Amino acid sequence: MASPSPAPATLLAVCALLAAMALFQGARAQQLSPAYYDESCPHVYDTVRRVIQEARTADPRILANLVRLQFHDCFVNGCDGSLLLDDGPAISSEKNAAPNNNSARGFPVVDDIKAALESACPGVVSCADIVALAAEVSVELAGGPYWRVLLGRRDGTTANFDAADNLPSPTDALNVLRQKFADVGLDDTDFVALQGAHTIGRAQCRFFQDRLDNFAGTGQPDPTLDGAYLSALRQSCPATGADARLNNLDPATPDAFDNSYYHNLLRNRGLLRSDQVMLSAPEGAAASTAPIVERFAASQADFFRSFATTMIKMGNIAPLTGSMGEVRRNCRVVNRS
């Protein structure tokens, strides 16, 4: 039996509440500015860039890791640096949630950036802003687009393990992924553009092993995988003993931020299910994400513009501003600790 329809007054009240929440979040985002630290810490960008360049020399993977940190931070409680918090008396760290555990990397580099900034400008630059700046610098150093990072976020004093456990997954179906992005205010273009960050970086075999031999419990490989690519992945990821082995997310240009990732999808060479479903999923890709994949494959400039726009948009997800939150002295612990 269908539930009774809500009264018009109830619908109006709900709509008014949603509108008020949207206005509140928009007002907080408007307090962010690229010039936020121009007087209080004028060399913040140069400091972030210097530390990342040094880290990149020792570990070329770090650029992709730092981009991913912003994604995993902003999707949980907004862009508040909560991902950086370690376990504590009142903190259940998001780092231990399944999508992050033994997967999210780059925290020591954030620590190094924070230490350098604390030396130059004590108590000024938030950890949440460091994450946002590090993502932009990393994309630029990998050959991708530049954008002016909006700054002025404050740091959260809590973590949300349960929400982190529900981050978009490499095994999610297309409709699930689209909904998870929509839940934080990001549309299909944002979704496809952000997935383009997989033009750099690596993924462990465990995140796509099922696609090679037992996709969706069928006992067969994922039918959307190119045959030659499937053979290569089976060589790299045997059925046992290789869960943590790394594979290039973009087999063509693994360390260059470009639109090769989308060309790979057109050839059925997306490494993760969450990559390939944007083009190949029968449950709606043709009417939603596939045309965007084709668009970005046709124009790297279009992809770069959309990616930069979406990174700014994602950076505006529920920031703490003004007197909200704090500026942590150590990104791993709240100040009262």
Residue 9: per-residue pLDDT? 44
Residue 28: per-residue pLDDT? 56
pLDDT per residue as tens digits for the range 165-212: 999 999 999 999 999 999 999 999 999 999 999 999 999 999 999 999
Q: Is 76 known as a binding-site position?
A: yes
Residue 71: per-residue pLDDT? 97
Under DSSP, the state recorded for 146 is -
Compare 313 and 102 and report the one with higher pLDDT. Answer: 313
Q: How many residues does the chain have?
A: 337
In angstroms, rounded to a whole number, what is the distance separating the alpha carbons of residues 335 and 337?
A: 5
SS3 for 247?
strand
pLDDT at 14 over 70: no
Average pLDDT over residues 232-255: 95
Residue 29: per-residue pLDDT? 57
Residue 97: per-residue pLDDT? 95
| Percent of the chain clearing pLDDT 90 (strictly above) | 87
In angstroms, rounded to a whole number, what is the distance separating the alpha carbons of residues 67 and 308?
A: 12
Per domain, the residue ranges of the chain are 44-167, 174-311
Residue 31: per-residue pLDDT? 86
CATH tag for 174-311 (out of 1.20.1510.10, 1.10.420.10, 3.40.50.1220, 1.10.8.350): 1.10.420.10
In angstroms, rounded to a whole number, what is the distance separating the alpha carbons of residues 198 and 249?
A: 6
DSSP bridge pairs for 330: 333
Q: Is 258 known as a binding-site position?
A: yes
* Mean pLDDT score across all residues of the chain: 92
Q: Is 155 known as a binding-site position?
A: no
Average pLDDT over residues 324-335: 97
Q: Is 94 known as a binding-site position?
A: yes
Considering 28, 68, 72, 95, which one is annotated as catalytic?
72
Asked if CATH classification 1.10.520.10 holds for the domain at 44-167, the reply, yes or no, is: yes
Read off the amino acid at residue 156. G
pLDDT at 40 over 80: yes
At 30, the pLDDT band (50, 70, 90 cuts) reads: low
Q: How many CA atoms lie within 13 A of 118 on its CB side?
A: 14
| Percent of the chain clearing pLDDT 70 (strictly above) | 91
Predicted TM-score (pTM) of the model is 0.90
Q: Would residue 43 show up in a list of annotated catalytic residues for this protein?
A: no
Q: Is residue 293 within 8 Å of residue 266, measured between CB atoms?
A: yes
Give the closest residue to 140 by CA, choosing from 337, 311, 297, 322: 311
Q: Is 80 known as a binding-site position?
A: yes
Q: Is 47 known as a binding-site position?
A: no
pLDDT at 2 over 90: no
Domain 174-311 in the same topology as domain 44-167: no
pLDDT at 295 over 70: yes
